[in-house]
Structure 1
Amino acid sequence: MTEKKKKSIYETLSQIDVSKLLEHIPRTSKKTGKTVYLDYLSWPKAWGLVKAIYPDADYKIREYENWVKTPTGFQQAGTLDYRKTSVGCEVEVTAIIEGHEYTQKLYVMDRFNKPVMNPNIKDINKTQMRCLVKALALAGLGLDVYAGEDLPSTEEETTKKPSKQSQTSKPTQKKQQSKVKPNYKQLTDKQLQEYTVMYRPDADSEPMEFKLSTIYTLAMSGDEMAQSWLHTMIKKLNMPEGQATAQFCKSKYAAQIKNEIEKKKAVEKIKEAAEDPNEETTEKMGA
């Protein structure tokens, strides 16, 4: 009787679908004013997933020698868990799983992904934990999110090289793929009405649970943040939230919300038009 082959760390972690755990962080450009949403896997969730499977997993943060200038020259004064350079500040974190080490570096950045030249201790600490998530991605957890892949992959699929026949038949495959419709779970009208997602009303607030109907209503009422969120999410058909958003926007319930808002706007315009002549008449009579 043959023993069942144990899955590798990569095979185990890469098969975990982290899409439901992702947060979508809004980033608004100062130049264009446009808002985009970045996928973000928080370190407590990532570390919790790994520890649930590998209880002995650990991580370490690299310590750099700290040299200070003295009257007699440079002298080492302990170590620091970050390194400052002429182009920014970086950290290095290593995840340790069953004796295997996965190391990554990450620079301290602002909300627009630009280097922070003089970060404070809070910035450095946050970067270290973000770097831990990046190291775990090397082990397989959430690597598909960084790579933009649709679904979690297996180690065999990732390392498998395409044959010459598959390379020569790429144009045909693309034509066939373009005709294939997205294959995802169809939700009922009731499910769409009650569907909730994690949403940030503004860039400074924490993610909160919102109904899709509420976000759609805000968007139809002119809320730019909600409009940008819908525009971004409707394209992410590889995620449950994106699939639900795409279905909701085409639903009868969404059409009903849109019609009601348009009716309200029409009524308000009629009232404004009716009020203006009265004001002019009153002014003339007063004169």
Structure 2
Amino acid sequence: MKFTGKINEPSKMTVTSPGDWTQTKGPVVNLRVALDGKSASFTPSENGLYEFRCSSAPEAFEVQVGGTAPEPQPIPDPDPDVPPTPEPTPQEGILWDSNINGKWNDGNKREITVKQGSQQPDDKSIFVAASGSPKLVVDGNGVAHLVAGSGGVDNLSLKLRSRHQEGGDCANRFGGHGCAIDSSTVDFKTETCHNEHTGSKSFNHGVNIGTSWHRVDFTCKDTKVSCVIDGKKIGEHTVSISHGTKEKCDQNSYFWIRLNNSDHGRIYVMAKNYNSKLSLDFMFEPSKNSIALRNVRLVAV
């Protein structure tokens, strides 16, 4: 279902049966859902192609704001004398998305102080842990705030292939591969067991990390980890898989996002991952002892 919209004018979508509404494409908006679940509306503030889905409708709603996309051109017949270009290997898929799975843009403001969901392997649920009375404040418009401790914000820490909470000996609770972003550096570390770190490597990022939005992509593939900030590749590092094997990660694994200041509040997301890329927008909020997060997505690579 396709239609056009205008900046600063409400666009409304309706279905015949109630369902759960989510935004799947376009600039993040505040999606207002009616109490009966049969309609939703939003007011765009910028041009773009917006897409929304309702669980009770077979088709997505596509709203074009600020002009239409160019008409697709016909594909010419292949030249028999020219070998075809190999198809790129497709991504295995989205492992977790803050709007699709976390429903951060569902219009409901809320706080997660312990957990959301049942914390079963790969059930896409969230739980909050560590010190500093951490909480995740979800605004309902696609933005959430990880709040903990005091003293502002020292750094943002990301971790992939984590089995930190699995219990037992160190062979069963591999901490994972991480990167931490502060005002001047990106630090890579592997946590072989709780508070046991190896393979440290630091890179100066040269990005002005202030109180504005930035984009980070943290990738872990085989024995390589890398970090990109605002489209700039900061560094790549070789790691030891140790106990974080694919077999172990396929049993259960998760990623974390952590705020470090006087304490170390973090959220874990129950999404199995081995070779993956964690991407998100972040903004330091030192006056609130928090980090704002949006468009968090984990994709297999």
TM-score normalised over the length of structure 2: 0.23
Which protein has the bigger strand share? 2
Relative to the length of structure 1, the TM-score reads 0.24
Query: When you count helix as a share of all residues, which structure comes out higher?
Result: 1
